Structure 1
Amino acid sequence: MITLEEFHQDFLQSILSDSESRGLLKAQSFFELVCEDLMQVGDLTNEYAMAEFIKTGSEVYGYDYDENRKIFTLINFQFFQNDEIETLTKQHVNIKFNRLKKFAELCMEGLYSDLEETSDAYSLAFNIHRFMQNNLVDKFRLLVLTDGKLTKSISQIPNDLISDTVCEHQIIDINYLYSIFMSENSSGSYDIELNIPYIKVISSSSEYQSYLGIMDGEQLFEIYDEFGQKLLEQNVRTFLQFRGGVNKGIRNTIQYKPDMFFAYNNGITATATQVETRDGFITKITDFQIVNGGQTTSAIYAAKKNSKLDISKVSIQMKLSVVNNIDKKSEFVSSVSQYANTQNKVNKSDFFSNSPFHKEMKDYSKRIWVATRGGSQKRTHWFYERVRGEYLNEQAYLTPAKKKQFQIENPKNQLIEKTFLAKSENSWDRKPHIVSKGAQYNFEEFANSVTDMLEKNHLAITENYFRDAVAKVILFRETEKIVSKATWYENAFRAQTVAYSIALLSHIIYKKNLFFNFNRVWDDQRLPIELLDIMKIITKEVYERITNPPPGAANIAQWCKKESCWNDVNRIDIDLEPIKKMFKNKEEVKYEQKSEKQLKELDNGIEIQAFVIQTNIEEWIQLYGYYMTNNNYKSLTITQRDILKKYSEGRISFPSEKQSKVLYNLFQKAVKEGWEVVYS
């Protein structure tokens, strides 16, 4: 198991690698990495943003606004960046929180009028002032992030007031970040205590145990009010953002016929890893996740929060499934979520975590070596991390020698996170306004695009796709460095400038009906000098354009989220003559794609044959028995039945590629239907 100290060392290495590869300050990398983790577990919304302001007695580094719960979060940090875990003292805590409070007070007094409109801090100060004027803040939350460990002398920090508004305090230290890592890579994260009647559902499944329960509106309100988006299954969190108006039908039932709510509403479907019961009541739920019922939860919460309706007479049915195998927790929750969400429209991206895309990318990342360069004799991989913490988790049980070898072959600066990949891909796909909307919106768009692509061509993720994807990541990182080092850059809107600059390069090439040859970037693992020079020109032009929005437009950050901003930027014309040797024509691309498809078909055929041969014969016997019972054989063609029967009886010693494909598909079909091998 990974220890806290090992996690801390890996965390610091992640920050160092991220800052060096992207040209960021270590403090910026620290802020982004921690906030991404907090967003993934629901502690922050996908609207969080960086906004630095430092003045005598006041300090802030970022913010977040939970529109549904009317909670405004101000973020500061204490970044020690030492090899040993430092202690965050009481003095540190008091200073950081007092400076955040002072900043909030200055904002209410009209601080924004003294700031440059092109700064991130202006948007933050203006929003606080406007939200407070319009009674849109019910609570302030002051958040201090640190790579240290909170002193044991602080066990609780009492709530305070900022201009008569409740203010609560929270410290995210290395222990908290470690617990996030452990919960994502093992089990357990938080408990919910409650008291609801239940019926235990009798089932023969060894995978889970189900319960039917009934909770009232107040209980559901209190749970969401305390835990927020932590309750929402991660894959559908964007789908259940609680945006827009409250469903009128549900609201009307709450207001006029609360006693009929149970009859009219489908309730919620949830999962957990453990429950405790006593005298016919569920008293505690561990890792509670709502996988269906977002509209119900939203309507009930908003009915009390916004409309001040009485929800105590509302009864909600709850179907709760508790997974027995903790190792399969993520897969189980995602599957329940997918099959439970049938009555509402759900985006393809909501279940992207189960996409074959990740397996393909992971396989290529393990198989493809990067050419040695700069005199180095060590060949390396780009490590694709589908789930945060995979890189560290894969080293958990390695010997010191094996761990060192792993780190040499998979250097930290060659780690690709799926959310970063989504940024580089969508930027090149000419969607900078989507990238500017934030990580979750951007990832949703990327997931939808990949899903559509795989539906049209299941062989789309090839070795060339992987190499090009890595090259785009390199392009994105190098462009970040260019912006950060530029004399014209004023420490604001770097992310938007980078996304729009890459999109503009892609757009100009696209208009010429040409294709960019990423092979040179892959081969050299860096941008050619002539491309660096072009990007310096593009980034300056883009920065000047986006930081001067048209009259009447919203602030710059909001302007960059609009397609009209992209339509304005893509009219910029740049001479690409210096990099004309890096273009390919349509015929070249078609030939490469055909060759890649043939190669991948061959690879898939070999992999399938290997799977069939390596699977124990006992499993094929049980599979044949599964299809021969309960009329399952009727779903098979005569050819399928014949091949399965002969192979299970040992009459086919070495199946051909076509026979293997038939057997493989039957095996996967049965697994999806719930078939399991029974081991004696």
Structure 2
Amino acid sequence: MITLQEFHQDFLQSILSDSESRGLMKAQSFFELVCEDLMQVGDLTNNYEMAEFIKTGCEVYGYDYDEDRKIFTLINFQFFQDDTIETLTRHHVTTKFNRLKKFASLSMAGLHNDLEETSEAYSLAFNVHRNVHNKLIDKFRLIILTDGKLTGTISRIPNESIEGIVYEHKIIDINYLYSIFMSENASGSYEIDLNIPYLEVHNQSNEYQSYLGIMDGEQLFNIYDEYGQKLLEQNVRTFLQFRGGVNKGIRNTIEFKPDMFFAYNNGITATATHVETKNGYITKITDFQIVNGGQTTSAIYAAKKNSKLDISNVSVQMKLSVVNNIEKKGEFVSSVSQYANTQNKVNKSDFFSNSPFHKEMKDYSKRIWVAAHGGSQKRTHWFYERVRGEYLNEQAYLTPAKKKQFQIENPKEQLIEKTFLAKSENSWDRKPHIVSKGAQYSFEEYANSVTNTLEKNELAITENYFKDAVARVILFRATEKIVSKASWYQNAFRAQTVAYSIALLSHSIKKRNLFLDFGRIWDEQRLPVELKEIMKVITKKIYERITNPPHGSANIAQWCKKEQCWNDIRGIEIDLILLKKLVVTTEEAKYEQKSGKKQKELENGIEIQMFVVQTDFETWVQLFGYYMSNNNFRSLTITQRDILKKYTDGKIPLPSEKQSKVLYALYQRAVKEGWEVLS
């Protein structure tokens, strides 16, 4: 098992690698990596932004706004970046929180009037001022991020109330981040105290235990008010206010017929890792997650929070499944979530975690070597990390020598996270406005795109695709460095500048019916000089355009999220004369794509052939018997009958690739029909 110290060392190495490969300050990388983890577990929404503002007695580095719960989060940090785990002292805590409160106070008083409109701090101060004066903030949540550990002398920091607004304090230290890692991107273990009547459902399964319970509206409201998106992190839908017919129906029932809610509504389906009961009541639930019924939960919450409706007479049925094997928690929740969500349309991206895409990318990342470059004599891999922490987990039980070898062959700077891949792919796919909306929106768009592609052609994820995708990651990181080092860059809106610059390059090449030769980037593992020079030109033009939005769009971050912004940007003309040696024609690109698919078909064919040969011969004899029984043989084609009979008669000692595909298809069909091999 990975220790806290090992996790801390890897965490610092991740920050160093990220900052070097992307041209960021270490503090920026620290902020991004931690906030990404917090968003994954529901502590932040996908609206979080970095916005630095420092002056005497005042300090803030980022913010987040949960519109549903009217919670505005201000973020500060103490980044020690020391090899040993430092202690976050009481003095640190008091100072950092006081500086956040000072910023909130100044912002409410109109701080934005003294700031440059093109700065990220202006957007933050303006949003605080506007939302407070429109009574859209019920609570300020003040967060301190640190790579140290909180002093043991602080166990609880009470809330404060200033000018009618609650101030809540939260510290995210290395122990908190470690708990996220140890729970494999779940939210860590948390307990909810409640009191609801239940019936235990007896079953024969050793995997889980089920309960049926009844929760009243107030209980559900209070739980969501405290935990928010953390409850729904494994859920396949997010609440979209009262836009859809289902949500309007829920609201109408709450308002006009609350006593009929139990009869009309399907309730919620939830999972947990442990429950405590007493006298016919569930009194405590550990790791409570709503996997179906997110709309019901959020609708009840919004009915009271926004519409001030009475929810005391609302009763909600709950089906609760408690998983017994904690190690299989993720798989269990995913399955319950998938099968429970049949009431409304579910996006293809919702179950992308189970897509064959990840297996393909993982296989290629393990198999394909990067040619040695830059004087190095070692060949390396690009490590595809489907789940955060996978890179560290694979080293958990290695000997020191094997661990060193793993790190040499899989250098940290060549790690690709799925959300980062989504950003680089969406940018090249000319969707910078989607990328600007945040990691979650970007990933969902990419997941849908990949799923659509795989539905049309299962051979689409080829070795060439993997190499080109890595090349686009290299392009993205190099562009980040170009922006960070530019003399015109004012330390704001770098992410938007990068996404729009890559999208404009892609658009300019595409409209000329050309393709960028990503093979050159893959071979060299860096941007060619010509491409670097043209990106310097493009990034400057993009930055100047987005930081001067049209009248009425003073909030630059929000402007960049609109498709209208992209429509404006793609009108910029770019001279591609420098790239004449780096582009290929449509026909050349099609040939490369076709060659990649042929290669993949061959690989699949070999894998199938190996499966047939390595499967016990008795299995094929039983399969022949299955098709012979109940006239199943008549459902086969003459070719299928002939190959299956000859193989089981021993007349085909080594089946060809085509014969293997026939045998494999018959095997798969029988399994789907319920056939099982007798041991």
Report the TM-score when normalising by structure 1.
0.93
Measured at CA, do residues 53 and 276 of structure 1 come closer, stay the same or move farther in structure 2, by a change above 3 Å? Answer: same
* Number of the residue aligned with 1:342: 342
Measured at CA, do residues 527 and 263 of structure 1 come closer, stay the same or move farther in structure 2, by a change above 3 Å? Answer: same
* Number of the residue aligned with 1:425: 425
The amino acid across from 1:91 in the alignment is H
- For 1:18 and 1:612, the matched residues in 2 are separated by 44
* Number of the residue aligned with 2:147: 147
Kept in 2, the 8 Å contact 1:194–1:284? The answer is: yes
- For 1:79 and 1:292, the matched residues in 2 are separated by 39
Measured at CA, do residues 351 and 672 of structure 1 come closer, stay the same or move farther in structure 2, by a change above 3 Å? Answer: farther
* Number of the residue aligned with 2:317: 317
* Number of the residue aligned with 1:546: 546
- For 2:626 and 2:215, the matched residues in 1 are separated by 40
* Number of the residue aligned with 1:300: 300
Comparing 136-145 and 265-274, the one that deviates more: 265-274
RMSD (CA atoms) = 2.9
* Number of the residue aligned with 1:366: 366
**How many angstroms does 1:206 deviate by?**
4.0
- For 2:619 and 2:497, the matched residues in 1 are separated by 55
The amino acid across from 2:20 in the alignment is E
The amino acid across from 1:383 in the alignment is F
- For 1:283 and 1:649, the matched residues in 2 are separated by 64
- For 1:98 and 1:627, the matched residues in 2 are separated by 76
Measured at CA, do residues 77 and 195 of structure 1 come closer, stay the same or move farther in structure 2, by a change above 3 Å? Answer: same
* Number of the residue aligned with 2:268: 268
- For 1:92 and 1:645, the matched residues in 2 are separated by 78
* Number of the residue aligned with 2:599: 599
- For 2:678 and 2:101, the matched residues in 1 are separated by 61
Q: Over residues 587-623 of structure 1, what are the superposed CA-to-partner deviations in whole Å (9 max), with x where a residue is unaligned? A: 1112112211111011112223334554567888999
Residue 559, structure 1, aligned to residue 559, structure 2: yes
**How many angstroms does 1:632 deviate by?**
13
- For 2:233 and 2:659, the matched residues in 1 are separated by 39
What's the % identity of the aligned pairs? Answer: 80
Which structure 2 residues correspond to residues 171-320 of structure 1 after superposition, within 5 A? 171-184=171-184, 189-234=189-234, 236=236, 239-240=238-239, 242=241, 247-320=247-320
Comparing 2-11 and 257-266, the one that deviates more: 257-266
Measured at CA, do residues 186 and 3 of structure 1 come closer, stay the same or move farther in structure 2, by a change above 3 Å? Answer: farther
* Number of the residue aligned with 1:577: 577
* Number of the residue aligned with 2:115: 115
SS at the partner of 1:195?
A: strand
- For 1:76 and 1:171, the matched residues in 2 are separated by 10
Kept in 2, the 8 Å contact 1:232–1:240? The answer is: no
- For 2:326 and 2:646, the matched residues in 1 are separated by 37
- For 1:331 and 1:166, the matched residues in 2 are separated by 38
Kept in 2, the 8 Å contact 1:357–1:461? The answer is: yes
* Number of the residue aligned with 2:47: 47
Report the TM-score when normalising by structure 2.
0.93
* Number of the residue aligned with 1:329: 329
Measured at CA, do residues 251 and 235 of structure 1 come closer, stay the same or move farther in structure 2, by a change above 3 Å? Answer: closer
Measured at CA, do residues 675 and 195 of structure 1 come closer, stay the same or move farther in structure 2, by a change above 3 Å? Answer: farther
Q: Over residues 345-404 of structure 1, what are the superposed CA-to-partner deviations in whole Å (9 max), with x where a residue is unaligned? A: 111111111111111000000000000012211000000001100000010111111100
SS at the partner of 2:7?
A: helix
The amino acid across from 2:437 in the alignment is K
- For 2:577 and 2:12, the matched residues in 1 are separated by 42
Measured at CA, do residues 162 and 280 of structure 1 come closer, stay the same or move farther in structure 2, by a change above 3 Å? Answer: same
The amino acid across from 1:401 in the alignment is A
**How many angstroms does 1:80 deviate by?**
0.2
SS at the partner of 1:433?
A: helix
* Number of the residue aligned with 1:104: 104
**How many angstroms does 1:289 deviate by?**
1.6
The amino acid across from 1:76 in the alignment is N
* Number of the residue aligned with 2:127: 127
Q: Over residues 226-267 of structure 1, what are the superposed CA-to-partner deviations in whole Å (9 max), with x where a residue is unaligned? A: 111111143625x44557589222112112211111110011
* Number of the residue aligned with 1:451: 451
- For 2:469 and 2:171, the matched residues in 1 are separated by 37
- For 1:73 and 1:30, the matched residues in 2 are separated by 18
* Number of the residue aligned with 2:76: 76
Residue 568, structure 1, aligned to residue 562, structure 2: no
**How many angstroms does 1:310 deviate by?**
2.0
Q: Which runs of 5+ in 1 are unaligned?
A: none
- For 1:274 and 1:628, the matched residues in 2 are separated by 49
SS at the partner of 1:573?
A: coil
SS at the partner of 2:214?
A: strand
- For 1:310 and 1:113, the matched residues in 2 are separated by 41
SS at the partner of 2:501?
A: helix
Kept in 1, the 8 Å contact 2:180–2:187? The answer is: no
Kept in 2, the 8 Å contact 1:303–1:309? The answer is: yes
Measured at CA, do residues 589 and 253 of structure 1 come closer, stay the same or move farther in structure 2, by a change above 3 Å? Answer: same
* Number of the residue aligned with 1:609: 609
The amino acid across from 1:31 in the alignment is F
Kept in 2, the 8 Å contact 1:77–1:146? The answer is: yes
The amino acid across from 1:510 in the alignment is K
* Number of the residue aligned with 1:416: 416
* Number of the residue aligned with 2:7: 7
The amino acid across from 1:550 in the alignment is P
The amino acid across from 2:407 in the alignment is Q
Q: Over residues 78-115 of structure 1, what are the superposed CA-to-partner deviations in whole Å (9 max), with x where a residue is unaligned? A: 00000000000000000000000000000011001000
- For 2:506 and 2:335, the matched residues in 1 are separated by 37
Measured at CA, do residues 311 and 14 of structure 1 come closer, stay the same or move farther in structure 2, by a change above 3 Å? Answer: same
The amino acid across from 1:481 in the alignment is K
- For 1:325 and 1:669, the matched residues in 2 are separated by 32
SS at the partner of 1:380?
A: coil
Comparing 526-535 and 328-337, the one that deviates more: 328-337
**How many angstroms does 1:660 deviate by?**
4.5
Q: Over residues 19-42 of structure 1, what are the superposed CA-to-partner deviations in whole Å (9 max), with x where a residue is unaligned? A: 000000000000000000000000
Kept in 2, the 8 Å contact 1:240–1:295? The answer is: yes
**How many angstroms does 1:210 deviate by?**
2.6
Measured at CA, do residues 7 and 312 of structure 1 come closer, stay the same or move farther in structure 2, by a change above 3 Å? Answer: same
* Number of the residue aligned with 1:490: 490
The amino acid across from 1:171 in the alignment is I
- For 2:242 and 2:534, the matched residues in 1 are separated by 41
Comparing 501-510 and 328-337, the one that deviates more: 328-337
**How many angstroms does 1:193 deviate by?**
2.5
Q: Over residues 135-187 of structure 1, what are the superposed CA-to-partner deviations in whole Å (9 max), with x where a residue is unaligned? A: 10111100000000000000000111232211110000000000000011799
**How many angstroms does 1:653 deviate by?**
6.5
Q: Over residues 188-242 of structure 1, what are the superposed CA-to-partner deviations in whole Å (9 max), with x where a residue is unaligned? A: 62222322222333334444333222211112111111111111143625x4455
Which structure 2 residues correspond to residues 627-646 of structure 1 after superposition, within 5 A? none
The amino acid across from 1:581 in the alignment is K
- For 1:221 and 1:2, the matched residues in 2 are separated by 38
**How many angstroms does 1:276 deviate by?**
3.0
- For 2:619 and 2:318, the matched residues in 1 are separated by 37
Residue 138, structure 1, aligned to residue 114, structure 2: no
Measured at CA, do residues 241 and 28 of structure 1 come closer, stay the same or move farther in structure 2, by a change above 3 Å? Answer: farther
Comparing 303-312 and 134-143, the one that deviates more: 303-312
Comparing 56-65 and 263-272, the one that deviates more: 263-272
- For 2:673 and 2:284, the matched residues in 1 are separated by 32
SS at the partner of 1:319?
A: strand
Kept in 2, the 8 Å contact 1:233–1:333? The answer is: no
Comparing 285-294 and 116-125, the one that deviates more: 285-294
Q: Over residues 405-446 of structure 1, what are the superposed CA-to-partner deviations in whole Å (9 max), with x where a residue is unaligned? A: 000000000000000001100110111111111111111111
**How many angstroms does 1:667 deviate by?**
6.5
- For 2:335 and 2:429, the matched residues in 1 are separated by 30
